[in-house]
């Protein structure tokens, strides 16, 4: 029996999915099933209740999971410590990120990181916010990148930076010539927003409510790119993170207007499982992400 077999079993127990366990370990679903069968033969005990529709470990499976988790964590810690002693940064980093961070914030950091540590393999998945949390808790990824991070006893939150929120509109919109605008000026105007379950949407709803502003949501989308396209055709105005509209403002397809009622921003953070062994590669990546945005060449 190898450590890898116990890790596959732990990933299966935590994700409750043969598909996800296979994905995490870079093997086929059939290979996951075979490794579970190997463990069952070795311990002469059933580990999964296969007769039921929902995934469930047997009592023997629960015991094996508890001890296997300790063994895998000790092994991961050993590997991390040996790398630290040898001053080696290598291995894999699996990242799940919301679309706006993945498209606009992450690329220069990944480029700079890989240039500094070419032996590290960085794999990035673009996900909705709720899926990022699920992937981190389920060990599908090592790190999640989110906005407005939720407190969770299972997670460590690693604050990154604060992204200013700005109003954007079409260059021909009647507000376009304003350098600043009060939130009250948005009352009743056509507004392009995010879908209600998006963290940035919930934060904007609170801001508008606190300032007694009622807007007219004419469109709602689940990603920043579609929001921007709708504003570019003058379908309405929107409030978005500044980092997501830098290119459009430079090209003149959108106009940025500061909100004068206060400093409004979107906090960004990395999240990882509290029991996660932070490898040297992961530590260096998080440190880089907290620093200034690298210049691209």
pLDDT value at residue 52: 61
Any idea which fold 162-266 has?
A: D-Maltodextrin-Binding Protein; domain 2 (3.40.190)
- State yes or no: pLDDT of 168 exceeds 90: yes
**pLDDT tens per residue, range 251-281:** 999 999 999 998 899 999 999 999 888 888 8
Return the percentage of the chain with pLDDT > 90, whole number: 67
Q: Please give the Cα distance from 124 to 68 (Å, whole number).
A: 27
**pLDDT tens per residue, range 136-163:** 988 888 999 999 999 999 999 999 999 9
- State yes or no: pLDDT of 226 exceeds 90: yes
Question: Band of the pLDDT at 175, cuts 50, 70, 90?
Answer: very high
Contact 115, 145 (CB under 8 A): no
- State yes or no: pLDDT of 297 exceeds 60: no
Helical ranges in the chain per DSSP H: 3-15, 18-25, 29-43, 59-85, 99-100, 106-116, 129-137, 199-210, 224-232, 246-251, 280-290
Assign 195 to helix, strand or coil.
coil
**pLDDT tens per residue, range 53-76:** 678 899 999 999 989 888 987 887
Q: Please give the Cα distance from 124 to 102 (Å, whole number).
A: 8
pLDDT value at residue 90: 78
Mean pLDDT across the chain: 90
Task: Quickly count: other Cβ atoms within 10 Å of residue 7's Cβ.
Answer: 21
- Domain 89-161+268-290 in this protein, CATH class: alpha beta
Contact 9, 68 (CB under 8 A): yes
Which has the closest alpha carbon to 213: 190, 250, 234, 186? 186
- Domain 3-84 in this protein, CATH class: mainly alpha
Question: Please, which residues have CB within 8 angstroms of residue 79's CB and are 6 or more apart in sequence?
Answer: 91, 279
Contact 105, 242 (CB under 8 A): no
- Give the N- to C-terminal CA distance of the chain in Å, as an integer: 48
Q: Please give the Cα distance from 177 to 75 (Å, whole number).
A: 60
Residues 208-212: contacts with CB under 8 Å, at least 24 apart: 208/183, 211/183, 211/184, 211/261, 212/184
* Domain spans, the chain: 3-84, 89-161+268-290, 162-266
Same fold, 3-84 and 89-161+268-290: no
**pLDDT tens per residue, range 3-44:** 889 989 988 888 888 888 888 888 899 999 999 999 999 999
């Amino acid at each position: 029996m190898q450590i890898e077999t116990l890790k596959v079993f732990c990933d299966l127990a935590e994700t409750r999915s043969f598909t996800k366990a296979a994905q995490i370990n870079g093997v086929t679903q059939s290979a996951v099933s075979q490794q579970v069968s190997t463990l069952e033969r070795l311990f002469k005990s059933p580990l999964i209740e296969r007769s039921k529709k929902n995934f469930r470990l047997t009592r023997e499976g629960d015991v094996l999971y508890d001890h296997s988790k300790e063994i895998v964590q000790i092994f991961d810690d050993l590997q991390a410590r040996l790398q630290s002693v040898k001053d080696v940064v290598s291995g894999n980093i699996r990242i799940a990120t919301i679309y706006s961070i993945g498209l606009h914030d992450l690329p220069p950091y990944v480029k700079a990181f890989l240039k500094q540590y070419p032996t590290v393999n960085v794999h990035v998945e673009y996900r909705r916010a709720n899926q990022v949390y699920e992937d981190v808790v389920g060990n599908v990824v090592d790190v999640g990148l989110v906005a407005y991070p939720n407190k969770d006893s299972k997670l460590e939150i690693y604050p990154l930076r604060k992204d200013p929120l700005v109003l954007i509109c079409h260059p021909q919109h009647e507000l376009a010539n304003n350098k600043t605008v009060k939130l009250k000026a948005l009352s009743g105007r056509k507004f392009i927003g995010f879908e209600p379950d998006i963290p940035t949407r919930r934060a904007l709803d609170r801001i508008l409510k606190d300032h007694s502003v009622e807007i007219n949501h004419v469109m709602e989308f689940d990603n920043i790119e579609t929001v921007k396209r709708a504003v570019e055709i003058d379908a309405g105005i929107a409030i978005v993170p500044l980092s997501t509209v830098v290119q459009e403002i430079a090209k003149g397809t959108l106009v940025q207007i500061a909100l004068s009622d206060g400093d409004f921003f979107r906090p960004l953070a990395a999240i990882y499982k509290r029991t996660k062994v932070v490898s040297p590669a992961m530590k260096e990546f998080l440190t880089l992400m907290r620093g200034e945005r690298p210049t691209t060449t």
